[in-house]
Amino acid sequence: MTISDWRIELIVVPVTDVDRAKAFYVDALGWNADFDHRVTPTLRFVQVTPPGSACSIAFGEGLTDMAPGTMKGLQIVIPNADDALAHLRENGVEAAGVDEQAWGRFVYFADPDGNGWSLQELPPRD
């Protein structure tokens, strides 16, 4: 394997209520529910993936020592910030309006535990 083969494909996100988190990411955000398995009485693994993404997130019981709500700065590249904002609001997700920056257009929201996400529409490339 060379360094060019390294890919981020899974990020663990700490949550308090696994079913509430799954409903948020799958029902409100529209992400794919890939996997939900109780391995042992103290270990449950749930994996969801944003449409079109090569990287998934996992949450559950017994996966991490991180405190729920402590993940900040998670970022997803999207094709259109206005459409993403409308989708979030139509699905009851509280989101700030589009933040215009020279390096892109951003929409910010948090999951029910307070884990912070940003959606970035990349600027046009010259």
Looking at the domain assignment, is residue 126 inside a domain? no
Looking at the domain assignment, is residue 111 inside a domain? yes
Model pLDDT, residue 2 = 67
Rg (CA), the chain: 15
Stronger pLDDT, 118 or 4, i.e. the higher one: 118
Model pLDDT, residue 124 = 87
pLDDT single digits (tens) 9-49: 999 999 999 999 999 999 999 999 999 999 999 999 999 99
Looking at the domain assignment, is residue 87 inside a domain? yes
pLDDT single digits (tens) 101-122: 999 999 999 999 999 999 999 9
> How many domains does the chain contain in total?
1
Q: How far is CA 35 from the centre of its chain?
A: 15
DSSP string, 35-100: EEEEEETTEEEEEEE-TT-S-EEEEEESS--SPTT----EEEEES-HHHHHHHHHHTT--B---EE
Burial class (CB in 10 A: 0-12, 13-18, 19+), 79: exposed
Global confidence as pTM = 0.92
Model pLDDT, residue 1 = 54
Looking at the domain assignment, is residue 25 inside a domain? yes
SS3 112: coil
Model pLDDT, residue 120 = 97
Q: What is the CATH number of the domain that holds 73?
A: 3.10.180.10
Q: How far does the chain reach from its first CA to its final CA, in angstroms?
A: 33
Q: Are strands 56-61 and 10-12 parallel, antiparallel or unpaired?
A: parallel
Model pLDDT, residue 96 = 87
Residues 53, 31: Cα–Cα separation, whole Å: 10
Q: Can you give the residue range of the structural domain that contains 12?
A: 3-121
